[in-house]
Amino acid sequence: MTTASENALFGMGNPLLDISAVVDKDFLDKYGLKPNDQILAEDKHKAMFDEIAKKSKVEYHAGGSTQNSVKIAQWMIQTPHKVATFFGCIGTDHFGEILKQKAEEAHVDARYYQQTQEPTGTCAACITGDNRSLVANLAAANCYNKEKHLDLDGNWELVEKAKVYYIAGFFLTVSPESILKVAKHASENNKIFSLNLSAPFISQFFKEAMMKVMPYVDILFGNETEAATFAKEQGFEETDDIAEIARRAQSLPKVNKKRQRVVVFTQGKDDTVATIGEKVTMFSVLDIDQNDIVDTNGAGDAFVGGFLSELVQERTLEECIRAGHYAANVIIRRAGCTFPEKPDFP
């Protein structure tokens, strides 16, 4: 059984500092927010981030989809530290310093590209009762620069050191050329490259960038909504049968013929669908009482994190999915993408 080694898992994406605090209805009204929503920040929201940071019980966490997943993979693995490397862009500001500190506390080897044009990306979670309104301001995360970071020898060496690569589809909006460089490296060296569909709008509006990367994708993740949009955009006939969509996605052109593509689609409380060899298999998720569910926002990132933690240790696909289900089950019982000190994964 292989144990994880330092920098074996490589992630690249949009680093965001998650800032969460309890607010009141007046606060939501002031910034035109719905109690339960996920939006991208507009100009009218810019002052909100400083205001929420001044709340008495404000909490900070290293966030952003890919960083969440590698952070959870590291938590599942525990030791050694720094199994996960993470690249992304931040600012040279106070929030950037907090983000560095939080990544370090999570034992992730975060190598941020820092620039002065834009402030560090943030995601505010405005909590009222059981609701949370998420407002993301990508800011610096949009400024990742391949030539000034990924291509540097010291950084590229960390890419070469990895065995498993994971990038959320969100990063296709920032630096598709960086994704392609990493994906081609994985393919040429028979290493595992994985991508997440991430959101319906990625399949719709960043289709060209996504399909340039797809021939290098060994593992494709997504949820049922993203899978349906992807199928529709690709012109698959059966867009309502998730098993058929998985099968069709698996058979899209692939460069590295030594590895058959694996497609894994989660469906919330319904079975997870995965292609194993020529078959599509259903895996039931762990039971949970609806009353124990606090926040499902980080569930998808957590599933991937659990999955990657076993994958990097060369476990079977069944084991990877079991770990994904475990991690998601832990995360949805807590606010935000947070976890207890240690996992209890048998």
If we measure between CA atoms, which residue out of 169, 154, 161 comes closest to residue 64? 169
When pLDDT is cut at 50, 70 and 90, the band that residue 239 belongs to is: confident
Query: What is the per-residue pLDDT for 73?
Result: 97
**From 18, 271, 301, 344, active-site residue:** 301
Q: Cα torsion at 46, 51, 55, 59 (round to 10°)?
A: 30
Backbone angles phi, psi at 109, to 5 degrees: -85, 80
CA–CA separation, 202 and 227 (whole Å): 11
CA–CA separation, 146 and 37 (whole Å): 33
Query: What is the per-residue pLDDT for 303?
Result: 97
Considering only the C-alpha atoms of the chain, give the largest distance between any 2 of them, rounded to a whole number of Å.
58
Q: Which of 2-6, 170-174, 205-209, 244-248 has the lowest mean pLDDT?
A: 2-6
* Strand partners of residue 168: 196
1 has a pLDDT exceeding 70: no
When pLDDT is cut at 50, 70 and 90, the band that residue 172 belongs to is: very high
* DSSP-based three-state secondary structure for 141: helix
When pLDDT is cut at 50, 70 and 90, the band that residue 64 belongs to is: very high
CA–CA separation, 177 and 162 (whole Å): 19
CA–CA separation, 289 and 8 (whole Å): 36
- The pLDDT of 310-323, averaged and rounded, is 97
Neighbour order of strands in the sheet with 219-223:
109-115, 84-91, 9-12, 164-168, 192-196, 219-223, 262-267, 270-276, 279-283
241 has a pLDDT exceeding 70: yes
Q: Is 270 a catalytic residue?
A: no
Task: Specify the higher pLDDT residue, 22 or 56.
Answer: 22
If we measure between CA atoms, which residue out of 219, 231, 229, 227 comes closest to residue 321? 219
The encoded tokens of residue 67 equal 């960083």
59 has a pLDDT exceeding 80: yes
The encoded tokens of residue 267 equal 């469906």
Query: What is the per-residue pLDDT for 31?
Result: 96
Query: What is the per-residue pLDDT for 216?
Result: 98
Query: What is the per-residue pLDDT for 116?
Result: 96
Count of CB atoms situated within 10 Å of the CB of 51: 14
CA–CA separation, 214 and 183 (whole Å): 9
- The pLDDT of 207-229, averaged and rounded, is 97
When pLDDT is cut at 50, 70 and 90, the band that residue 275 belongs to is: very high
287 has a pLDDT exceeding 80: yes
Query: For the chain, what is the mean pLDDT?
Result: 93
When pLDDT is cut at 50, 70 and 90, the band that residue 40 belongs to is: confident
214 has a pLDDT exceeding 80: yes
CA–CA separation, 73 and 258 (whole Å): 26
73-130 pLDDT, tens digit per residue, is 999 999 999 999 999 999 999 999 999 999 999 999 999 999 999 999 999 989 888 7
Q: Please count the residues of the chain.
A: 346
Domain boundaries 7-15+62-120+137-330, corresponding CATH code: 3.40.1190.20
